[in-house]
Structure 1
Amino acid sequence: MKNSEIWQKELEFLKAIIDKTELVKTTKWGSDVYTVNNGNVLLIRAFKNYVSLWFFNGVFLKDPYQVLENAQEGKTKAMRHWRFSSADEMNESRISVYIEEAIENEKNDLRWKPEKSEELEIPDILVQAFTKDHKFKNAFDSLTPFKQKEYVEHLSTAKREATQIVRLEKIKPMVLEGKGLNDKYRK
């Protein structure tokens, strides 16, 4: 039996509350995601032992009933969720308070802004390659910071110099084409 079948009563209860709002239902990441002005506000999901109401920018919610949790402390920055292990725990007026505040926060563009990461430390093998091949350096510099970081981490995690050299030779054509290390896995 699927989690959504086990928690059908609770899911329907949450959906009924959400349906009374202006949120628009979409499907992302295999879940019902609710948006306003194309901004993600919340999602609901059934797990093995509970149903959860996730707020994308929950870090900004006042949390008057002290029910919100950070799913992965130290990793999840903005998202917060409210767990329910039975329909008896669900109070429509309390849930509505959180949902309405989340909607207003989204309308007011109150969103978590990722922190700027520290400057990228280029490994020696890459610096040497750049001095020998300016076209390669220019191609690397034109990549997004995210793609640059992927390549730097890929090279830096190789413990042996021989492995670094092999990796460098493999990534060079990809960099010259403007591709990221893992682009083929992204949709």
Structure 2
Amino acid sequence: MSPKVDAFIVKLDKWQAELSLLRSVILDMGLEEDLKWGSPCYSLEKSNLVILQGFKEYFAILFFKGVLLKDSAKVFSKPGENTQSSRQIRFTHLDDIISQEALIKAYVKEAIEVEKSGAKVTLKKIEEYAVPEEFQRALEEDEALKTAFARLTPGRQRMYLTHFAEAKQEATRIARIEKNKNRILIGKGLGDCICGLSQKMPTCDGSHKHAR
């Protein structure tokens, strides 16, 4: 049990009992626990398998390679419209965990087996992603931004394009683009820490805000 996760659970205003119970279920599977992206995350030999999430209307366990699981019970939800790899099992009550503990463990066990098999998720190539009109215009008007975006890793480019495209309103898309221009210019991804370290790195414990 990670002390960082202990501290995280204690500070929760919502879903404290629920995430504590879900945490204990996951820990029974023998995975490594750490706090990543500001949430309890569980890995196998340094490969992230699942992460616990709390939202306003529900809490969830997210499987990073959920798309590769069979989902025999048909309980998976997509975190976002354009999500390719990860899948969630969502809950709204403590009793949900109690009644579905065996199912949760079965899914985690399958996730472990998938990871051990070396299976990879085939993601769309960055060229296959539509570039929102507003962002395309921003790139054409700002050569430095265009150059900086081209230098980002495909994963970082993918996250930005998805983040911008998910906004339904033009004004929201423009606002997201403006908010993230500086991050792109300095080579930061959407999920990178403002302290200069990637949130994926163990030296960043997620204890401070990561602006998006």
The TM-score, its normalising length taken from structure 1, stands at: 0.65
Gaps of 5+ in 1: 120-148
What is the aligned counterpart of 1:79 among 79, 86, 89? 86
- The alignment partner of 2:127 has SS state of coil
CA distance in 2, matches of 1:32, 1:7: 13
CA, structure 1 residues 116+95, in 2 after alignment: closer, same or farther (shift >3 Å)? same
Secondary structure in 1 matching 2:107: helix
Q: How far did residue 106 of structure 1 move?
A: 1.1
Aligned partner of 2:108 in structure 1 is 99
Q: 2:31 aligns with which of 15, 23, 33?
A: 23
| Distance (whole Å) between structure 2 residues aligned to residue 16 and residue 184 of structure 1 | 40
Distance in 1, matches of 2:107 and 2:41, equals: 16
| 1:157 equivalent among 128, 137, 142 | 137
Which residue is equivalent to 1:65? 73
Residue 69 of structure 1: how far off its partner (Å): 0.6
* Equivalent pair of 1:37/1:107 in contact (CA under 8 Å): no
Q: Distance in 2 between matches of 1:171 and 1:46?
A: 34
Deviation per residue, 1:19-42 (Å, 9 max, x gap): 111211122111111110211100
Match of 1:125 in 2: none
Task: Report how many residues are paired.
Answer: 144
Change (3 A) 1:179 1:21: same
TM-superposition CA deviations, 1:125-168 (whole Å, max 9, x none): xxxxxxxxxxxxxxxxxxxxxxxx9xxx96x4159xxx74xx33
Deviation at 1:171, TM superposition (A): 6.0
Query: Could you tell me how far 1:179 is from its partner in structure 2?
Result: 6.1
Give the whole-Å Cα distance in 2 for the aligned partners of 1:179 and 1:185: 8
Structure number with greater Rg is 1
Shift of 1:113: 2.5
Q: Is the 8 A contact 2:145 2:185 kept in 1?
A: no
Aligned mates of 1:185, 1:179 — CA distance in 2: 8
Gapped regions of structure 2 (runs ≥ 5) = 1-9, 153-180, 189-195, 197-212
Q: Which residue of 2 aligns with 1:39?
A: 47
Q: Percent identity?
A: 31
Does structure 1 conserve the Cα–Cα contact (< 8 Å) formed by 2:59 and 2:91?
yes
Name 1:132's counterpart in structure 2.
none
Cα offset for 1:87? 1.2
**Judging changes above 3 Å, is the alpha-carbon distance between structure 1 residues 115 and 179 closer, same or farther for their aligned structure 2 residues?**
closer
* 1:171–1:83 Cα change, 3 Å: closer
**In the alignment, which of 123, 136, 142 is matched to residue 114 of structure 1?**
123
Deviation of 1:116 after TM superposition, in Å, equals 2.5
CA RMSD, Structure 1 to Structure 2 (Å)? 3.1
**Contact kept? 2:42, 2:50, Cα under 8 Å:** yes
Matched residue SS, 2:50: strand
CA distance in 2, matches of 1:158, 1:68: 36
CA shift at 1:117, angstroms?
3.7
Q: Larger deviation: 48-57 or 105-114?
A: 105-114
Partners in 1 of 2:68 and 2:145 — Cα distance? 41
